[in-house]
Amino acid sequence: MLRSIPNFITILNLTCGCIGIVLVLSSPDYLKYGAFLILIAGVLDFLDGFAARLLNVKSEIGKQLDSLADVVTFGVLPSMMLFELLKLTYDVQGIEWLNCKHLLPDYQAHVACSINQMIPYFPAFLVAIFSAIRLAKFNIDTRQVDGFIGLPTPANAILVSSLVLMISNEGQDFEFDEIINYNFLYSFIFASCILMVSKIPMISLKFKNISWNLNIWRYILLIGCITIMLFTYIKGLSYFGMGLCIIYYIIVSIISGFLKKEKE
């Protein structure tokens, strides 16, 4: 029974992804719930690995199941969120890719044109594609035992969630099109995809012991993220803080990797 606990937690992660996709595609108003589910799934993703190490029940099926769940929750769900954000952006800015009004009497032609109208939103799918590539590489790369190479998919999904929550945060004193536009979203998508499959060594929070010397960069990362979250919480910008933590994570990982290479 105990051996099944990590896999059960992984299945909960997958369930969060499935529910999130349904909510996000149901209404733009539910985008923030998709973001919250990614955050919950991020905790579950940490817990399943922690439980597997604690119970010493690592298995190949658990490894594969974890990656498959991550593709859905941290790949497909963020893609759907970005798809809806692009759609909202074009709607808010009044941009029309194709005009299908003259095809209204012809149902099939109108459906075809409606699909073509969604072409500007298709780059959002790149996040799902590159997430799958990132996870496939992780599964066969023996170098990624104590660390990662490329931005982990959960971190990228949290970055997307932070963006969504900032936009949907009630009481904001800015308009949608003042903070975000399709050029920004396209740049954001391409940058995140490149980061996921990059050769940048990224820090893993897998502690084998509590030694400061052996885990100095992990402690620097944790202390920095806690400081950022406390500061942004005081300022009422917690959602912005989550995104800053991921950016901080990338910067600290780059510095850590550079210094390690210098020592070698």
Confidence of residue 1 (pLDDT cuts 50, 70, 90): low
Per the model's pLDDT, the better-predicted residue between 55 and 26 turns out to be 26
Q: Is pLDDT above 90 for 196?
A: yes
Q: Spell out the long-range contacts of 59-67 with Cβ–Cβ below 8 A and sequence spacing 24 or more.
A: 61/7, 62/6, 62/7, 62/10, 63/139, 64/139, 65/7, 65/10, 65/11, 66/10, 66/13, 67/135, 67/136, 67/138, 67/139
The whole-number pLDDT of residue 92 equals 59
Percent of the residues in the chain that have a pLDDT greater than 70, as a whole number: 83
The token duo for 201 is 């060594």
182-196 and 77-92 helices, crossing angle to 10°: 160
pTM, entire model: 0.86
The whole-number pLDDT of residue 147 equals 75
pLDDT tens digits, one per residue of 152-166 = 999 999 999 999 988
End-to-end Cα separation, the chain, in angstroms = 46
Q: Coil, strand, or helix at residue 105?
A: coil
Report the distance separating Cα 66 and Cα 33, nearest Å: 22
Report the distance separating Cα 85 and Cα 121, nearest Å: 9
pLDDT tens digits, one per residue of 109-128 = 444 455 667 788 899 999 99
The whole-number pLDDT of residue 171 equals 45
pLDDT tens digits, one per residue of 161-194 = 999 988 877 545 445 555 578 888 999 999 999 9
Report the distance separating Cα 121 and Cα 253, nearest Å: 31
- Give the count of beta carbons closer than 10 Å to the beta carbon of residue 258: 11
The token duo for 71 is 């593709």
Contacts of 184 (CB under 8 A, 6+ apart): none
CB 158 within 8 A of CB 250: no
* Three-point CA angle 217, 221, 202, nearest 5°: 70
Q: Is pLDDT above 50 for 261?
A: yes
Identify the weakest region by mean pLDDT among 7-16, 104-113, 209-218, 242-251.
104-113
Q: What domains can be seen in the chain, in order of their start residue?
A: 2-199 (1.20.120), 208-264 (no CATH)
Cβ burial, residue 150 (10 Å; 0-12/13-18/19+): buried
Which single residue is written with the structure tokens 């850590």? 256
Report the distance separating Cα 12 and Cα 56, nearest Å: 20
Q: Is pLDDT above 80 for 221?
A: yes
The whole-number pLDDT of residue 77 equals 97
CA atoms within 13 A on the CB side of 193: 18
